[in-house]
Amino acid sequence: MDERTIKLLDKCEAMSLLSTKASCHWSFIKWLFQLPLILTSSVMCILNSFDNNEQGNMKIPNVVVNGCSVLIMSLQNNLKVSEKVELFKNLSNQYLILAHSIEALEPDTITREMINNFTDKYDMLQSQCLFEDIPQKYKKEVINSWNGRALPLQLNGASGIKRNSKCNVNSSIEISSYVNEIV
């Protein structure tokens, strides 16, 4: 495979890993929101079964628990937790499928048009990815584990294109340190 194909494969694999980590993160947050709802509903169901409805002792606890439940569900819906779980799970699978499609190519049959089509698919997936909703620690984990391999532009802070320029080594070091500060 040529260098462009290998870089695209590396980027797909990096994004698949990052999307998987993001999906796990949002799944955990979804679980954190659902746990109090399950516990409070169960406890209130048990307590309501002991109420004899004559004195109305359970009115205030029911109102408080229902209010808390509505608040938790509102927060969960406002953060769009379920949608993010599904989005990152789907993106992870699609990046993995794309990576497998690239790996399945015979090196002798690869054409420029094929790579351009794969690049277009990759770009389409990138446009769907919500990088701002991926925690920084997962981005850094992928960056650190991808030592020496091609990373997506959103993770490496540069296009990765080698240009013939007359910049000196010091300015390259300054640019690299600036990118590391951002990440």
Q: How far is CA 58 from the centre of its chain?
A: 43
With cut-offs at 50, 70 and 90, classify the pLDDT of residue 174.
Answer: low
Q: What pLDDT is attached to residue 83?
A: 96
Pairwise CA distance, residues 64 & 72, whole Å: 12
Sign (positive/negative) of CA torsion 8, 12, 15, 17? negative
| Each residue's pLDDT tens digit, 28-69 | 999 999 999 898 888 888 877 777 766 767 778 888 888 888
Pairwise CA distance, residues 129 & 145, whole Å: 20
pTM equals 0.78
pLDDT(108) > 80? yes
What type of residue is 165? S
